[in-house]
Amino acid sequence: MPAASTAAKTERLLNLVICLLYTRQPLTKARIRDAVPQYGEVASDEAFDRMFERDKDELRDLGIPLRTEAVDPLFDGEPGYRIDRREYALPEIHFEADELAVLGLASRTWQQASLAGPATTALRKLEAAEVERDSDSLVGLEPRVRTVEPAFTPLKDAVVARRAVTFDYRKAGAEPERRRVQPWGVANWHGRWYLTGHDLDRGAPRVFRLGRISGPVTAQGKPAAYDVPADHDPTTMIAGTEVEREPQPAILQVRTGSGHTLRRRARTVGEVDDQWSQLDLDYTDTEMFADEIAGFGPAVRVVQPAELREAVIRRLRNALQRNEEGE
């Protein structure tokens, strides 16, 4: 099967699982067809019926407890379908270090995507159809505009393949330095992305913030070239090295009618002209604050400090580059 076709099928099955986990009441085939975007693209009822039957069988073959129940227990009518999340939940299991690395990356990718694209569309269609939601079965919808670290994908691939990487790394207030690292894991800690691994030049474990990686990440050597320590816990390692800075002052200019979360935190708010306000506020982490500011796009600009302004510009340039590459 071609890769594109396989990806489309996987996405369709995933959306079907989300749809059937979402509801407390069984859904008829018609409602499922309306909710799952890929089913809505099928031209005929016969083709949809064949696709849905194949998908049901595949989910059951995968061990997913797809249940067929009466939509109305008082009447014999068309059956409905749902997945009981209590049966769907996994028992307590244990994983090896490399398996934990892959699972951790997958779960955090979901968090980053916030059930993006067709999955979000399916849930919104169910809400519009007044389907009663099983709120405990899925992560809540929280649409966000998030900047994605350019280094994330190559580092994720290197973690999975266990290949060494090189990249330029910039510490706060310093010029970038070339680093050679054996990646152990990529994790999110307090809203920031980090790489844990063994620094080959320093001969010791190190933690790197992805937002401070400049330029490309280059993989080197053969796959499976090293072993990740069996007791490696990226979150514990990151927490042990994270140092909170003292509050730093910043001056921002914010377009009128925008940046309300910034305005609420500001010590002072002054008017520059009829289009811009000037805010004086504190922050503790340059990279995290730059993420927030970049999310406002052209509606917020940094007057000072220069370090914060450069961090925001770097994010906007990366976003522009990714957009141009996607065209």
Kindly list the domain boundaries of the chain, sorted by start residue: 3-96+121-128, 152-241, 248-326
Please tell me the distance from the alpha carbon of residue 35 to that of residue 52, in angstroms, as a whole number. 13
What residue type is 316 in one-letter code? L
Q: Beta strands of 109-261 (E only): which ranges?
A: 164-169, 177-189, 192-199, 204-209, 213-220, 248-255
pTM above 0.75, yes or no: no
Mention the CATH class of domain 3-96+121-128: mainly alpha
The secondary structure of 241-287 as a DSSP string is H--PPPPEEEEEEEETT--HHHHHH-SEEEESSSSEEEEEEEES-HH
Q: Tell me the pLDDT tens digit for each residue of 125-182.
A: 555 555 455 444 444 333 333 445 788 889 988 998 999 999 999 876 678 899 999 9
For the chain, how many helices (H) and strands (E)? 12, 11
Q: What is the pLDDT of residue 279?
A: 94
Q: What is the pLDDT of residue 85?
A: 72
Q: Tell me the pLDDT tens digit for each residue of 276-297.
A: 999 999 987 787 788 889 888 8
HSE-up of 172 (CA within 13 Å, CB side)? 11
CB 266 within 8 A of CB 277: no
Nearest alpha-carbon partner for 120 in 144, 88, 152? 144
The secondary structure of 52-121 as a DSSP string is HHHHHHHHHHTT--EEEEESSTTS---EEEEE-HHHHSPPP----HHHHHHHHHHHHHHHHHTSTTHHHH
Task: Centre a 10 Å sphere on the Cβ of residue 101 and count the other Cβ atoms it contains.
Answer: 24
Q: Tell me the pLDDT tens digit for each residue of 110-140.
A: 444 444 455 555 555 555 555 455 444 444 3
pLDDT < 50 regions, the chain: 3-4, 108-116, 131, 134-147, 327
Mention the CATH class of domain 152-241: mainly beta
